[in-house]
Chain A
């Protein structure tokens, strides 16, 4: 069963100096959130950054890694963006998007 440590190690194979944090979202070893901060991401689109990471996991998706929610950031962005972990099965099938809810609440107030 994949562990957060295994995920982090795999990322370090391709990005040795990255700041990597993997979180097992369900405790089941198949849904992970992954936060990666690396200088090489500077100037890359979000999609390109994900492709760099996903290429490493290609053979493991969708088995044994069912879901990999990725936050790939350049160091300059990492400070601005907090660690925002999304739980895919948080509220039954209704995914809950805290930040979107916050934004909508804010807009409703204004």
Chain B
């Protein structure tokens, strides 16, 4: 495994897990309302997901934002693809698109 927070490491993280949430804090103890909301979306989806606490290391936020070319946290990845932050996650969950996208990638 590459050094944490390098592009290679981040590619590995989203390559190895179908659902990844880069968030402030943990799903159990979120440190921001938006991160909490994104974690709740994944919990409601009911599938296992990997949560990466980007407050655990000062390098994390600039590294992730540069790598994904997206300026805010949290960030949700489904099958390696960035879908966006908690606003998009909620919209996609409510419309059923998140479930569709997850299921489609799983059978592929």
A interface residues with partner B (beta carbon < 8 Å): 46-47, 50-51, 54, 57-58, 61-62, 67-71, 81, 86-90, 93-95, 97, 99-100, 103-104
Residue of A69, A89, A95 near B40 (CB, 8 A) is A95
The reply to whether A97 and B40 form a contact with Cβ atoms under 8 Å apart is yes
Q: When A46-B92, A54-B71, A100-B41 are in contact, do A71 and B33 touch as well, CB less than 8 Å?
A: no
Cβ-closest chain A residue relative to B97: A46
Secondary structure of the A side of the interface? mixed
Alpha-carbon distance A93/B26, docked complex (angstroms): 12
Interface flag for B102 (CB, 8 Å): no
Tell me, rounded to whole Å, the shortest Cβ–Cβ distance linking B42 to chain A.
11
Alpha-carbon distance A90/B87, docked complex (angstroms): 15
The reply to whether A67 and B88 form a contact with Cβ atoms under 8 Å apart is no
Given A62-B71, A70-B85, A86-B90; 19 other pairs, CB 8 A cutoff: A47-B88, A54-B70, A54-B71, A57-B71, A67-B72, A69-B86, A69-B87, A86-B37, A86-B87, A88-B34, A89-B33, A93-B29, A95-B34, A95-B37, A97-B90, A99-B90, A100-B40, A100-B44, A104-B44
